[in-house]
Chains A and B, each alone.
Chain A
């Protein structure tokens, strides 16, 4: 469109009153202003959020400074607070969730978009969208009554038996802990990965597939070497979207993580995540320092999400440059 217009770009806007009035009447200017306000409001909301977290965490920041990030104690009675075990818990549960959910979700998406008969694909996609709509408290309750006994009695002892040489799978099996939280998160984010990845895969032009098949590729070669690479930017987008969800997920994690602020190399050990401790303790927090420490945890979670999303952006840009694939 730039080629056909001589007055494009901010510098070329006609600011004369009657010109503005004309654009107003035709609706262009109104649409421009309204959408601009909507766009800016997202920035404004984020800025206000950070500002509020910053202001209300002032007592905690003043008292603990950088030590807040490296201290492992969380003691509301003696007003001594550190964020390290919560940061660790948040990152480790999210990592477990992604390790489990990405292959599963991606596999399901490939099946649904490439291999499944259309009827089955439509039916399954409907079920997956339903899964995404289940409230997290339901996942938490289900986990308490079904997943945790299974973990304690069967899965964790088996892991310990076969993989006990890895520190991740040592220690007493209680059922609740990092592994349980990671598993629940994985179940919760799979629908997101499947749903978005499937859409992305379906958006790959048919002639790409036809060309690959025409060159003599098998069905699987077409899928794995042509369709998936073509859609990889979108697939990565779906993974990062679900990562953001896993980082901030509160209710289900709170119910199964074990409520113990500690750093343990074992996935069987109980732990704590940032969102979970805020949900658990905010309502009853009375002291000024206690309250501001919880707010500062919120700020830390924001920071973690910000950094990880930044890394995600860079990775997406890098993959775009490397190959000829386009973002869906």
Chain B
């Protein structure tokens, strides 16, 4: 009995510390910003020579994930104080990703200062909002990435269960996304054990779900009665493993990972709820006997997927 209490307390403390560790935001490097989607503005901090700045060969620009694909700079303009340079491009930039600007041999008043590097990206809030929107609507995990279908078809028969599952799933998703991120960045990465991420992530999720199950049973039996059934099912949902893997592969930071998890969870909850509404109506419809059950559910999901295509291209910033 006492052992059980100690175990619960230790696991609680462990969980909390992992979450807190995950929340620590990484330092913000570089300074550069997008102007519309065809220009990047960088600031040197000191006045630079106009002749040097006008030479587009001095600047190398590439998207952070692909350093080999250089993006040609069309022209460079300096402001009147010669501190801020604006790099113009012929093609539109993908403002959702990060661009690295390398300035070779920066020259100030005839003296060469050296190579400087700038990172151009959206402000954190804009970026987070884009990630959230992508995870929940534009790239909805059920309708456009086809993940979590097993649970999606299994639990969407009634609205009530759909809501319960949606809430439980969102909570677990957010917390396990942040825990997997912290574990990967503070344990696996420093030890060069990145290839173990599949085993470790599924382990973390399974242990976390089991821990929540145990803690909830003791701490809040009422809530456990409402949501406990869904907890066990969550481990078999592919989204719960896909989001941490995607976070690591795209190199998201802690907050971005958290928001991605939140978006994925809410998107899944939305999909479940919509589907449950339709399936409750389907019960009283006359469906051809061969289509009853799963086949018609698939066709309905197809129609939803078509409707969700309408969200593609949605952007507020």
Are A and B bound to each other?
A: no
- Which residues of A pack against B, CB within 8 Å? none
